[in-house]
Amino acid sequence: MESNGCSGNCPGCENTSREEDRRSVLWWLLGGGAIASLGSFFYPVVRFLNPPRITEAAVNEVSAGKVQDLKPNSGKIVKFGTKPALLVRLSDTEWRAFSAVCTHLNCTVQYRDTTQQIWCACHNGTYDLNGRVVSGPPPNPLEEYAVGLRGEEVIISRNA
């Protein structure tokens, strides 16, 4: 490291070896600090670019299980984004899906196979299979979703 040809401790010489040491410590400090800090910036960036395992962001459609899972004239609750949805199988080929949030006081509705209507247990609100209010306190109909079949999978989707 004697780039200036100095052996150190020469009288009148500017660069004593202690000076050299201090200088090299300083450069190590600077270099180390710079690299460490830059590393602490780039580490998150690299992790950021790595796609997370669940790649889908928006919920405009959700898989509601297999066709065989639901018998005709029955319904089940499925998570649609952050809210529950009701999937109803009317017959072998006919499916309906609605938001399962009752428009009265937000309880979760259910399908009643005995009356073939959608019913809310909280205050006896009843909707028909088009989501329209038949009786009881709900002020508005249930939002209807589209149901499609992708092979054996039932897909509930909504137009935003």
Partner 1 sequence: MRPCLLAVFLVPAFLAAQPRDTCIECHAAMEGAIQKPALLIKDDIHAANKLSCSDCHGGDRYSDDPSVAMSAAKGFVGKPKRTAIPQLCAKCHGNPDFMRRYQPQQRVDQYELYKTSVHGKRLAEGDENVATCIDCHSVHDIRAVKNVLSPVHPLQLPDTCGRCHADTNRMAKYGIPTNQLENYRSSVHWAALKKGDLSAPNCASCHGNHGAKPPEVSSVSAVCGSCHVLFAQLYEKSVHQPIFSGASGGGGCIVCHSNHGIQQPSTAMLVGPNAVCSTCHDPGTPGAKTAAQMAQWIDGLGGALKHSENVLAEADKYGMEVSEAQVKLADGRENLVKARVAMHAFQPAEMQKPVEAGMAVADETLRAGQAALHDKDIRRLGLAVSVFFIAITVVAIFLVIRRLEANGSGYLEPTK
Partner 2 sequence: MTTKVLQWFDDRLGLDAIRELMSHKTVPVHSATRWYYFGGITLFLFGIQILTGTLLLFYYRPTVAEGFDSVRFLMTRVEFGWLIRSIHSWSANLLIFVAFVHMFSVVFTHAYRPPRELTWASGIVLLGLMLGFGFSGYLLPWNQISYFATKVGTDVAASTPVVGEGIARILRGGEDVGAATLTRFFALHVMVLPMITAALVALHVLFVQKHGMSTPPWISAARVRQMKFFPNFFLREVMVWYGALAILGALAAIFPWELGEKADPFASAPKGIRPEWYFLAQFYTLKLIPSRIWFVEGELLGIAGFGVLALGWALIPLWGVNRAGEAKTRLVNGVGIFLVVYLAVFTILGYVK
Can you give the binding site for partner 1, defined by CB under 8 A?
A: 23, 26, 29-30, 32-34, 36-37, 39-41, 82-83, 104-105, 107-108, 121-124, 136-139
Question: Residue 41 CB, nearest distance to partner 2 (Å)?
Answer: 8
User: 44 or 139: whose CB is closer to partner 2?
Assistant: 44
Q: Are 111 and 104 in contact (CB under 8 A)?
A: no
Residue 92: partners with Cβ closer than 8 Å, 6 or more residues away: 72
Looking at residues 28 to 57 of the shown chain, list those that interact with partner 2 (rule: CB under 8 A).
37, 41, 44-45, 47-50, 52, 54, 57
Looking at residues 59 to 78 of the shown chain, list those that interact with partner 2 (rule: CB under 8 A).
59-60
- Rounded Cα–Cα distance for residues 96 and 48 (Å): 39
125-127: strand order across its sheet: 110-112, 117-120, 125-127, 133-135
Question: Residue 38 CB, nearest distance to partner 2 (Å)?
Answer: 10
- Rounded Cα–Cα distance for residues 120 and 105 (Å): 10
User: 66 or 83: whose CB is closer to partner 1?
Assistant: 83
